[in-house]
Amino acid sequence: MSQISQLKAMDAGTRRREARTVIASSYLGSTIEYYDFLLYATAAAVVFPKVFFSGMDEWVGVVAAYGTFAAGYVARPLGGIIFGHFGDRLGRKGMLIVSMLVMGIASTLIGLVPGASVAGPWGAVMLVVLRVCQGIAVGGEWGGAALMALEHSESGKRGFAASFVNAGAPTGAVLGTLVMGAFAALPNDQFLAWGWRVPFLLSFVLLGIGMFVRLKVSESPIFKAAIEAEAAANNPSQSSAAARREIPLLHVLRRPKTLIFTMLAGAAGFALQVVLATFSVTYAVSKGADRQGVLYAFAAASFVSIAFVIMGGRLSDKLGRRPVMIGGLVLFILYLTPMFQLLSSNNIGLIFVAFAVGLMIHSTLFGPLAAFVSEQFGTTSRYTGASLGYQLATLLGAGFTPGIVAQIFKDSGQDTAAVVWYLAIMSVVSIVFILLTREPKNNDLQTVGSQPVSQALPSN
């Protein structure tokens, strides 16, 4: 029996059980990957300037440490290309296993890198190399996890299923903040000497758990069916068309409109997300709030937002991806001014409200985003197209926005109105490109080949 026939004949209960297993695996894998990736952000702020750049001026060390942090974002599109290529040729499951191995090993090794007092500048060099490995791994992880959840799910539940992958980001952030915060309670000399390393070394334990779960899931049935159908269409006597297929990246770049539109449609969401995690924290502290209190307020708000990410994905299954995402962006534009007023209150309770409301609104955009991006591409180029579009949106939105916003704030005489205008304009740009992109909610994911689904099918 062919893969297509097996997919159609599979018992509904069996498909639902398999889908739940895959969604749980994608959520757990995404949580572990983002625990590792975002744990680095905390360490770059509170540890690395003192451990790896101790011979520099304090603020020069901070800038240098954040430079190593940025290396991970630069590497993410590269990870999307590498893992997307092999994921579209060999399968989703294998690439997810490799990406988790790379992330787990790189994060564990970060916990073993000797400081400047032992290795001199080579410690920082090793840090950058391992950070690039983290970026490549997370760049490949997202696409595979999103596609596995998406391609195992029923058509009316794809937004809900894929949203669990994005829910892994705040879950990983909360987990990393709590673990690093626990060890930060050590005396400062012990924390800098060895305490900060333990959360990274724990990555090896998480790697074992993640691998155990991930090895149990099956390959995407839609991908297997697409490969079989393509092989039969191209050469009935050939068992596989993998060797004859064009490079998936070239398939995607041949129609760059879809890639560019998805990148610009998602960029504002990442900009708003990173402003909440970076500039907003700094702004609240600059107004007199306790730094640790602000960080824990953000962690608590991130925990609350997990459920709203999933709700956003579910809502998009009913209303469509575009209306929910546009609604989230419009609400965020309206909320920017009162958000900064709450952040400047020097009251941890109000600061928590500022973060919580902001992240809840953002979740209506972030929840449907995984499905929105992934549904734009045909099956045999979907891993590459979705990964590259999503990671370029991350680079454009999250990679450059913190520095731009900080500079705007400084040049405007520390007036948040200028920051609000910048973020509002960026949000409007994303709204325009969401409107220019066809609604993908009801697209047929079993469309085979390189042509983007949004162009291959009529608008819904």
Contact call for residues 343 and 411 (beta carbons, < 8 A): no
Among residues 130, 141, 128, which one has the least CA distance to residue 107? 130
Residue 255 to residue 427: CA distance in whole angstroms: 25
Within 278-415, residue ranges assigned H as helices are 279-286, 291-319, 321-343, 348-374, 382-394, 401-411
Side-chain half-sphere of 310: how many Cα atoms within 13 Å? 13
* Residue 413, CA distances (Å) to 130, 324, 357, 409 in order: 38, 36, 27, 7
pLDDT score at 317: 95
Instruction: State the DSSP H helix or E strand holding residue 239, giving kind and residue range, or none if neither.
Output: none
Can you give the pLDDT at residue 234? 61
- Amino acid code (one letter) for 107: S
Residue 407: Cβ within 10 Å count: 10
What is the pTM assigned to this prediction?
0.83
Whole-number pLDDT of residue 420: 96
Instruction: Read off the pLDDT of residues 103-124 as tens digits, 9 standing for 90 and up.
Output: 999 999 999 999 888 888 888 8
Q: Is the dihedral of CA 204, 98, 371, 392 positive or negative?
A: positive
The two tokens of residue 241 are: 């068309």
Q: For residue 385, which amino acid is it?
A: G
The low-confidence residues of the chain, meaning pLDDT below 50, are 1-5, 7, 238-243, 448-460
- Cβ partners under 8 Å of residue 201, min gap 6: 108, 111, 112
Q: What is the pLDDT of residue 448?
A: 46
